Amino acid sequence: MQVKTTAAASAADNAGWPLAFTSPSVDEVAALSYGELALAVRCSEMPTDRPQGVKEDPLAYAIDGLARMGVVAIRRLEEQSQALVNRKHFGPDRPAKRTAAVEHNRLWGDARRFDRSHSMAGRLWHALADRRAGIAAAV
């Protein structure tokens, strides 16, 4: 990772997200799991509503989200998301399932943000397939 030069070590951006002070590489983005990639896109400055007539760059959103949160936080959110999905579908009773569904929706923001994040992540996931194969072969 390349380190960004900034004036303050504990700064936050305009939306209040703490800055990780790193500029992730494409290889670091490609090394994320699909769920981690979707969460990185979700944590970016991607608008919830798709802008008309603008070609969006999913990689830029993923890099932005990863730079904002860092890999560790993204992985922690992915674990939390998966646990909520499991409870939502396989919880012991209906109230537990409903509670998990509400918490899962809260983690993602709203249904549109969830859908847009996964749409962008899906496009990027397929675009980075060759790079992921190269990373796996090197390991």
How many domains is the chain partitioned into structurally?
1
Within a domain: residue 53?
yes
Are the beta carbons of 78 and 33 closer than 8 angstroms? yes
CB 22 within 8 A of CB 3: yes
pLDDT tens for each residue of the chain, 139 residues long: 333 333 333 455 555 555 555 688 898 999 999 999 999 999 999 998 888 888 899 999 999 999 999 999 999 999 999 999 999 999 999 999 999 999 999 999 989 999 999 999 999 999 998 887 776 666 5
CA dist 40 and 62 (Å) reads: 5
| Residue 97 in domain | no
Q: Is residue 98 part of a domain?
A: no
In a domain, residue 84? The reply is no
Q: Is residue 85 in some structural domain?
A: no
Task: Give the structural domain span for 35.
Answer: 2-75+110-138
Is residue 59, in this structure, part of any structural domain at all?
yes
pLDDT, residue 102, reads: 95
DSSP string, the chain: -EEPP-S-TT-B-TTSPBP--EE--HHHHHTS-HHHHHHHHHTSS--SSPPTT----HHHHHHHHHHHH-HHHHHHHHHHHHHHHHHHHH-SSHHHHHHHHHHHHHHH-SHHHHHHHHHHHHHHHHHTHHHHHHHHHH-
Residue 91 lies in a domain: no
Residue 90 located in a structural domain: no
Which phi and psi angles does 23 have, rounded to 5°? -115, 100
